[in-house]
Every structure is written in C-alpha cells, then in structure tokens.
Amino acid sequence: MEFRLEQQRKIVTEIPGPKSEALKERRQQYVSASVGSALPVYVEQADGAILRDVDGNQFIDFGSGIGVTTVGNSNPKVVKAIQDAAAASTHLQINTAPYESYIDLCQKLTELTPGEFPKKAVLFNSGAEALENAVKIARKHTGRDAIIVFDHAFHGRTNLTMAMTSKSMPYKDGFGPFAPEVYRAPLSYPYRDGLTGPEAAARTIDMIDKQVGAKNVAAIVIEPLVGEGGFIVPAEGFLPALVEFANENGIVFVADEVQAGMSRTGKWFCSEWEGIVPDLVTSAKGIAGGMPLSAVIGRAEIMDASHAGGIGGTYSGNPVANAAALATIAAYEEDGLQEAALRIEKTVRSILEPLITELDVVGEVRGRGAMLAIELVKGADKTPNPELVKTVVAEAQAQGVLFLTCGTYGNVIRFLPPLVMSDELLADGLGVLVESIRKNA
Ligand SMILES: *Cc1c(COP(=O)(O)O)cnc(C)c1O
C-alpha cells in the first residue's frame, strides 16, 4: 500500500502545540461546549493509520474515527470514487428522482449479510437513523410495540436511540423524557457474570417472558459484539438462543452491526462468528470509508412491510456516499483486509495477553479481529479502574498514540485500528501502551 503521509508517529512540539492551542481558544468561543474531544490537538490531515496535527505532530490512530476508516483514512480507491461521483452529481434524492448507485449498493449489501433468503435494503445517513428505522420497520411488520435492548447497549443519540442506549452519562443525562416501550434485558458479560451462554440466555428470556410478554415484542435489538459498553463478547450460545427465541415468537431479531460489521471483526458481519442469521442488520461506521452512510438490510417480507413513502430522508443514499461505500466494499474484497483483521488480532493478543498473569490490574483482553479491548481493574475483585485508563491514555497521547476508551465503567481501552495498519506500527503503538500500564500498575 502507498501512503501520502509517512506511517510513523512523530512528536515535534509540546502536546498540544501552539497552533492547536490557538484553535482551542477559537473553539471555546464558537463551538458549543456540549461537544467533547479525546485528543487535545487539531488534525490537519489523515492518511492510512496516521493523523497529522496542525503543528506537524503525527499520531498512530487506534480509533479510526470510532471504527469508521476501517479501510484506512483517505483510502485511494475511496477518494477516487468520491471524486468521480461528485463530478457527476453531488446530490440525488431517491424519493424524487431515483438513480442506479442506490440499487447497486442495496444489492451488494443484501449479498453480504447472512442468510440465504430474499433480502432488501434501505439507506440512511447515521447509525442512529438506521436503528430508528429498523424499529419502525419491525413495529410495522409485527403490529407490536415493545423493543428489547440490553445492559451496556449503545444505539445512538436521537430520542428513540437514547432510550435504547444504556448509559446515562454522557448520553442521556438531562435529555429526557425518553421514548416508551423500550425494555432493558440482562446481557451476557462472561468476565463479570460468570454465566455460560445458555444460562445467560435463559435469564434474559425469563425477563422478557415475565416482564414484557413475548407476544408483545416487536424486536430484540442487540450488538453481537457490544461496542461502547465495553467491547463485550457474549458467551458462546447466548446469541443463537436469543435468535431461536425470536424466531419461535414472531419477534424480529435485529443485529446492530454499526460498529462490529463491515469486515471489522475479520468477517463481513460479526453475526457470522456464531453463525446466527438476523432478520434485520443495521450497518454504518465502516461501511463507506468515512462518508456518512448507514443501512438497514434484511428479510424482504419484513423490509416491505411499510407503505411506500413511510421510510426515507432527504440525504439518504447520497450518490457520493454510495460510491464511497461501493469502493470501500471493493477494497475489503480485493485488498485482503479481512485477513488483515485476523492478523491484527493475533499481534494484539500476543502482546497484551501475557499482561493478564503479569499484572493484577489487567482483567481481560477480548474482542474479535480488529475490534479488541483490554479491561483494567484494581485487582482480583475486578473493581473497575477508570483512573488507570485515563492515565495510560493520556501518556500514550503525549507520545503520539491515540487510544479510545469505552465501557459502562470507563475502564476499558479499545483498539479499532484501520485494517491497513502495519505490524510495525501496531507493535510500536502497543509498546507505548504496555510500558505505561506497567509503570502505573
Ligand atoms: C456508533 C453506534 C451507533 C450510532 O451511530 P451514529 O452514526 O453515531 O448515529 C449505533 N449502534 C452502535 C452499535 C454504534 O457503535
């Protein structure tokens, strides 16, 4: 792969540097204080796995803009597709004057999602919008109201998806009242609940049966690998048991693959790891190389439940974003990126897993493919250690490595590298992390 920017970290000023400091002042005057930022510097350009700030400092990007630039930032194939599409039309509107790229992308997505049955798709702009529409579609199809979501879930920041999201601070605090008929069920979190998949599923199904009633449930919505909530992989058997329960009770099973989908875990969709077949899949983040695009994909008879005009949006399926998505999918297919995700997992595990026995602050290393995390605790009682996470992430930033955090208790460091990150860069960034954890343990 060829890159514009040297794929190396480089610190040439204090962090933040003088130009970033100046931008911070202007930001404080003009940008709403409601917007937060992880890095204290301002990025001028990004390429592959590198972010370069306005002072010339370079950071290794272990976040990919929250799992978005999975094909690498400014991937040349995606850039070319965007340039060509924009030269042909910057905006087309499916509800007024339809166009081919909308069909191309929907067809491609129906081919990539699990399940051998007729499928259809519909396009939107953001992950939350896809979730909102998956719920609309499931309700229209079933004629039922109740939506089941889970502990540690994150589904977005709009009103309905706030109700579906678990964590109050920062996502919900003071922003209510929230949408009704959303019920929270227990998740499988093997590191903390010690239950097998079937045991955890039995607990969840009992809750649904007793507190909601299966016949009232329109949809079960779950992240097959829980993202913001802590990169939690449910115990084996949990997801298949829920799918079976949904199928038996006429409930639409929605896999929220906004973060875990589109090659991130080494397969097109994370659902494939346990061989589950969702009725509907929501996709966004890694779908279009950075362009705002999302989709709901699923069984044709469910996707067709709504009257024409019931689902849509002004910008939904923008032709430039569609072209970016088709090029992104081509890059996943042609450039060995799913294999790269598996190689990244091997490297990360080989570096981090030895720490579990070495240091009692390292609780667990988990995830799939290039969606991995380390959970930090205070010791054998597994008390969350968000303070250590903060220290380690800040020390890494000062040395030119950007790590994102997650977890209901803020004690998880997550790794979402672009799949084009080289092994050297991966090892270099993780070396900084390991040194800092050891020093502060
Ligand atoms: C990020 C995310 C969303 C929300 O996506 P937005 O584009 O921020 O609206 C929904 N579900 C999951 C699993 C996510 O990770």
Cα 263 to ligand 1 centre (Å): 16
Q: Which residues pair with 120 in a beta bridge?
A: 298
Beta-sheet strand order (sheet of 404-406): 362-368, 371-376, 412-415, 404-406
pLDDT of residue 17: 98
pLDDT of residue 438: 98
Indicate the residue type of 221. V
pLDDT of residue 1: 79
For the chain, the domains span: 18-61+336-440, 78-334
Cα 276 to ligand 1 centre (Å): 21
Torsion of CA 61, 65, 71, 76, to 10 degrees: -90
**Residue of the nearest CA to atom 15 in ligand 1?**
259
**Residue of the nearest CA to atom 11 in ligand 1?**
155
pTM assigned to the model: 0.98
Q: Token match 């190396």: residue?
A: 8
Cα 149 to ligand 1 centre (Å): 14
**Residue of the nearest CA to atom 10 in ligand 1?**
155
Ligand 1 site-directed mutation target among 149, 165, 285, most atoms within 8 Å of CB: 285
**Residue of the nearest CA to atom 5 in ligand 1?**
127
Cα 319 to ligand 1 centre (Å): 22
pLDDT of residue 80: 98
Which residues form ligand 1's pocket by a CB distance below 6 Å? Answer: 126-128, 131, 154-156, 223, 227-228, 256, 258-259, 284
Phi/psi zone of residue 156: left (φ > 0), alpha (ψ -120 to 50 degrees), beta? Answer: left
Cα 118 to ligand 1 centre (Å): 26
Closest ligand 1 atom number to CA of residue 129: 9
Residue ranges in the chain modelled with pLDDT below 70: none
pLDDT of residue 158: 98
For the beta carbon of residue 379, count every other beta carbon within 10 angstroms.
10
Q: Which DSSP string do the residues of 271-318 spell out, in sequence order?
A: GGGGT---SEEEE-GGGSTTS--EEEEEEHHHHT-SPTTSS--SSTT-
Is the CATH number 3.40.640.10 carried by domain 78-334? Answer: yes
| 393 membership: H or E segment, kind and range | helix 386-398
CATH topology assigned to domain 18-61+336-440: Aspartate Aminotransferase, domain 1 (3.90.1150)
Cα 6 to ligand 1 centre (Å): 31
Overall size of the chain counted in residues? 441
pLDDT of residue 123: 98
Ligand 1 site-directed mutation target among 125, 131, 133, 259, most atoms within 8 Å of CB: 259
pLDDT tens track for 271-288: 999 999 999 999 999 999
pLDDT tens track for 419-437: 999 999 999 999 999 999 9
